[in-house]
Structure 1
Amino acid sequence: MNPFLEIVIRAVGAFIAVILITRLVGKSQIGQLTVTDFVNGIVIGSIAAALAIDIRSPASFYFLALAVFSGLTLFLEWSTMKSRPVRKILEDEPTVVVHNGKILETKMRNMRYHLDDLMMQLRSKGVFNIADVEFAVLEPNGEMSVQLKSQKRPVTPADLQLPTRYEGMPSELIVDGTVIEQNLIQNNLDEEWLYRELEKQGVRSSEEVMYASLDSEGKLYVDLKEDAIEHYTDITDKVPDKIPQ
């Protein structure tokens, strides 16, 4: 076989295998990547890369290795779901690094976590003063959870005992010109209603719409593919040739 054609075929096979593995592992590992998950992902990626370009070794060897690592990954995911002690060993535990405005240096030193990391993650949460922090917890996936002191938290309607209305989640009705019929059905609506509402906003066809959604109060938001923006605010120093659409 032509070596270039073989590489293409093996690369496609490796790509499909990795996609299948990520689908099998599920969203939890991808969305909450721990150190174990990260290392495991690198190993699987390395095997897939070798499968694509190492034409001297049979592809079956690499597919077998991918199958073994996939099986072990799924077994570990199942084990962590069934056993809390196993979950603690593989995924570690949350660690308090700030307590009542005081930095816990010993905890940070044990994790080899330095002050610059702490300040960077606090700033990413909108916190610039450690004295305002009641608790800062370093999660197993490296994310920082921060609880401000009660007097430093933003006031909420619950604090003021004010009633609020249910907001819910907007329902997508049009995405990139395509009508999402299932969402219309879920809202007891039809395309005839949608086109009437679009016509009220001067839209002749759903193909003109980039995005349209319906909120819990029944208000239709519509964004066109070609917006008529009279004034565009650019935060860069570049001078735009034209207003972006």
Structure 2
Amino acid sequence: MEWQAVFNGAKEIPLWGFAVRAALLYFALIIGVRWMGHREVGILAGYNYLTAAGIMSVAAVRMVSPEASLTSALVIVFAYALVNVFFSYLDIKWPKLIDRAPVILIENGLIHKKNMLDSHVTIDNLLGQLRLKGAHNLSEVAFAILEPTGKISVFKKSNTLPVTRKQMNLPAKFAALPALLVHDGQVDGENLTSLGLNLNWLKDRLAEQGFGRVEDVFLVALQPDGTLYVSS
């Protein structure tokens, strides 16, 4: 009877029943979010937001209310996830029908008052978003677009952009990630080999920085510029 109360709800359920309900709902939410994919995590559309809010509301009520049915909560969670996946499919096929379209708020330096009113964006909202994008003067902005995600994309006028390496006829500088060579005193031999290096080279570089043993070092990384980052 106690297990039946845990799943179907009752006026009173034991404390361990609340723990079971919380654990099952938690795993159901994890499965549902994994099923819905990256879109739900990023909340890229209005229906994604509604799905997240709805699922969390259902889960919260079922966790704290003993009379609420856990079984119906699990059904609702997976039904929400299924509907979200279905709408995501429709959004790919007919994006204009399902999702919101981008709205131009500033075009060629001029503010679109009608679009501002239609999208309920105030001047303070717009100026705040421009500042966050590094555009402190309206005269710098060529375009500002309200994206379906609710964020504002900003494109500055070409004469306000910083000079690039190409414009200065400088060679291209390629970005790369640091290569981890040592972690917690353990040498990553695979990374050393892939870089054409060996343990003797690593020990010599560490000795130059005052480290006699690799085991004394917490982290060593070879940075893109060729320097060695060492932390003890």
- Both proteins in one fold, TM over 0.5: yes
Q: Contact 1:133/1:146 (CA < 8 Å) preserved in 2?
A: yes
Amino acid at match of 1:31: G
Q: Contact 2:222/2:228 (CA < 8 Å) preserved in 1?
A: yes
Provide, for residues 45-79 of structure 1, a one-character-per-residue CA deviation record: whole Å limited to 9, x for no partner. Answer: 11121232232233111111111111111222233
TM-score by structure 2 length?
Answer: 0.80
Amino acid at match of 1:73: N
Identity %: 25
- Measured after TM superposition, the shift of residue 12 of structure 1 is 1.3
Amino acid at match of 1:54: S
Q: Which residue of 2 aligns with 1:119?
A: 127
98-107 or 199-208, which deviates more? 199-208
Q: Contact 1:3/1:55 (CA < 8 Å) preserved in 2?
A: no
- Measured after TM superposition, the shift of residue 205 of structure 1 is 5.1
Instruction: Give the gaps of 5 or more residues in structure 1.
Output: 225-245
27-36 or 12-21, which deviates more? 27-36
Q: Contact 1:97/1:137 (CA < 8 Å) preserved in 2?
A: yes
TM-score by structure 1 length?
Answer: 0.76
215-224 or 7-16, which deviates more? 215-224
Q: Which residue of 2 aligns with 1:23?
A: 34
- Say if 1:193 and 1:34 are closer, same or farther in 2 by CA, change over 3 A: farther
Q: Which residue of 2 aligns with 1:231?
A: none
- Cα separation, 2, equivalents of 1:170 and 1:54: 50
Q: Which residue of 2 aligns with 1:233?
A: none
- Say if 1:185 and 1:77 are closer, same or farther in 2 by CA, change over 3 A: farther
Q: Which residue of 1 aligns with 2:140?
A: 132
1:74 paired with 2:105, answer: no
- Cα separation, 2, equivalents of 1:78 and 1:183: 42
- Cα separation, 1, equivalents of 2:88 and 2:146: 22
- Say if 1:202 and 1:35 are closer, same or farther in 2 by CA, change over 3 A: farther
Q: Which residue of 2 aligns with 1:92?
A: 100
Instruction: Give the gaps of 5 or more residues in structure 2.
Output: 3-12
- Say if 1:96 and 1:52 are closer, same or farther in 2 by CA, change over 3 A: same
Q: Which of these residues, 12, 22, 25, is aligned with residue 14 of structure 1?
A: 25
Query: Which structure has the bigger radius of gyration?
Result: 2
122-131 or 197-206, which deviates more? 197-206
Amino acid at match of 1:145: S
- Measured after TM superposition, the shift of residue 138 of structure 1 is 1.1
- The number of residue pairs the alignment matches comes to 219
1:37 paired with 2:48, answer: yes
- Cα separation, 1, equivalents of 2:47 and 2:189: 39
Paired residue secondary structure (2:106): strand
Q: Contact 2:144/2:153 (CA < 8 Å) preserved in 1?
A: yes
- Measured after TM superposition, the shift of residue 99 of structure 1 is 1.1
Q: Which of these residues, 212, 215, 219, is aligned with residue 223 of structure 2?
A: 215
1:53 paired with 2:64, answer: yes
114-123 or 8-17, which deviates more? 8-17
- Cα separation, 2, equivalents of 1:105 and 1:12: 50
Amino acid at match of 1:26: G
Q: Which residue of 1 aligns with 2:7?
A: none
- Cα separation, 2, equivalents of 1:104 and 1:58: 50
- Cα separation, 2, equivalents of 1:13 and 1:207: 45
- Cα separation, 2, equivalents of 1:13 and 1:101: 53
